[in-house]
A = this chain, B = another copy of it.
Amino acid sequence: MAAPSSFNDYVQNHTDAFIDRLRTAVAYKSVSGDSTMRQNLIDTGIWLKGELENLGVTVKLHDLGMQDDLQLPYLVLGSIGTDASKKTVLVYGHYDVMPVTMQANDWPDGSDAFILDVKDDKMYGRGSTDDKGPVMGWLNVLEAHQRLQLPLPVNIRFLFEGMEEVGSPGLDEFIVNEVNNGDFFKEVDCVCITDNYWLTTRRPVLTYGVRGIAYFTMDITGAKDDMHSGLYGRMIHEPMTDMVKLLSKLVETTGVITVPDIENQVPPPSDDERESYRLMDYQLSDLWKDTGGRKVELSEDTAELLMGRMRYPSLSIHGIRGTFDTNDGLKTIIPANISARFSLRLVEPLTPDYVIPRVTAFLKAEFAKLNSKNEIEVKYEGGGLPWVGERNHWNYQAADAATQAVWGSSLYPNYVREGGSIPVTLTFSEKLGKNVLLLPMGQSDDGAHSSLEKLDVSNYINGTRVFGEYLYQVANAQT
């Protein structure tokens, strides 16, 4: 049983209304990384509850309590359907967004990031693709079924959170506690996370893995205060000198991690595996689109590039601080306290527990070789485990069939692993013991975090159709 044609027609014919729904969602300035906007975030959760209830969902706002002096935004927990003869799908998304750093007049309509602007089939606005578009997509599916008086083919549980962009405080604890003591997850048969993107701008993907992460800060401290480089240059040990020497030992320009016993833990790809990456629909020009035309690829072999993203570990140095401010001009200081931040993206079998002592010991040993009288501290800031799901599960087969039904069989989805880290994926997988699928709506160039965020209207509308079709395919699946 596929989705009835009336569903597809309804979605197609209500494009404008669905865009208005997203416009309303985007107008909520639900920036989780800005404590001054916390009330907006709480209001957004309350609004979302009302919208879901209008569409027949039973909603509970779960209070996560306080974080420091601020109330955490609610977990919006929705339930629709209790038919024991149907499967139950857990849908995850989030209603918070990243901060806005762009000026209003950088956006196409000259207004601000919270006013959705539709231009050339693209909807610009903060949260359009990450993650309000996908969340509204689910509401669109519900609306179509309600108005058409179609029964949903499955029961659905919705978990929409408001702190995803700042590490989901309290979410893991809620899940563990609810699994042990509650019943929200009790009937769940499979999980569908709609919070990532295609690998390119043209072909849908299903995502069956994410890399883990281990994030470090390294501090090197010398004199008590910044010193004048004229007076003290070549009298004292300079923390910056030590710092660049240590950082230079972490990773090659080829991307190979040079902290011992990291790279050698990851099995090399088999010929078959390498071939599977080579067969993915990915061109160098796809990467260049993302880099703004700069040809800075590590390899011209797309299989190597994709394995670099998906199945090898990586190490990036994010920055150094404690030096001078932007406005300090040609300052001639010996900075006294330098702090560098770097992180490793992890693939199995690498875990934070495995890499933390090795990274720390290596840096301390290299520092000892420098014979510096400065002081070093290496601190693990946090991280998450890598995850690889079961891509041959009926959950994936349902998503695959749904994707092909909407986008056409020539755009059959590539199965990919995500280079980024989505810790809740692993939590769902481990604590619920159910198959987890990542089913993205947006494209690779949506600019989710750092630039002009957008979602293509076609991805929004077809994505809504994929979500609906997926529910029917899940209902059909032989378990």
Contact = CB atoms under 8 A, between A and B. Distances in A.
Contacts of A343: 229, 332
B232 A290 contact: yes
Contact of A248 (B227, B245, B287, B319): B245
A181 to B, nearest CB: 31
A334 interface: yes
Interface string A325-367: 0100111111100000101010000000000000000000000
A236 interface: yes
Contact of A326 (B225, B294, B318, B321): B321
Given A298-B235, A319-B331, A228 B450 contact: yes
A291 interface: yes
A372 interface: yes
A234 interface: yes
Contacts of A227: 290-291
Interface string A355-387: 000000000000000111110000001100000
A399 interface: no
- Which of A235, A341, A381 has the most chain B CB within a 10 Å cutoff? A235
Interface residues on A, range: 35 or more
Interface string A209-245: 0010101000001111111111111111110111111
Given A419-B231, A420-B231, A318 B333 contact: yes
Interface stretch (A40-48, A186-194, A307-315, A400-408): A307-315
Contact of A233 (B287, B323, B345, B382): B345
B335 A324 contact: no
Given A316-B240, A318-B229, A420-B230, A381 B330 contact: yes
Given A296-B223, A298-B235, A372 B324 contact: no
A253 B237 contact: yes
A103 to B, nearest CB: 15
A251 B236 CA distance: 13
A312 B234 contact: yes
A329 B382 CA distance: 12
A255 interface: yes
Interface string A276-294: 0000000000010011111
Contact of A244 (B248, B287, B298, B373): B248
Contacts of A373: 295-297
A175 interface: no
Contact of A449 (B228, B316, B323, B326): B228
A247 B246 CA distance: 11
Contacts of A329: 33
Contact of A235 (B293, B305, B321): B305
Nearest to A288: B223
Contacts of A240: 247, 316-319
A418 interface: yes
A229 B323 contact: no
A204 to B, nearest CB: 17
Contact of A230 (B228, B243, B291, B421): B421
A343 B234 CA distance: 12
A320 interface: yes
Interface of A: 33, 211, 213, 215, 221-238, 240-245, 247-248, 251-255, 287, 290-298, 305, 308-309, 312-321, 323-324, 326, 329-335, 341, 343, 345, 370-374, 381-382, 418-421, 449-451
20 contacts: A223-B292, A224-B293, A225-B292, A228-B420, A229-B343, A235-B305, A235-B419, A237-B296, A238-B317, A241-B317, A247-B248, A248-B248, A253-B372, A316-B332, A318-B334, A319-B323, A319-B335, A320-B320, A321-B326, A331-B341
Minimum-distance CB pairs A-B, first 10: A224-B292, A319-B323, A230-B420, A233-B314, A234-B308, A234-B314, A223-B291, A248-B248, A229-B316, A244-B247
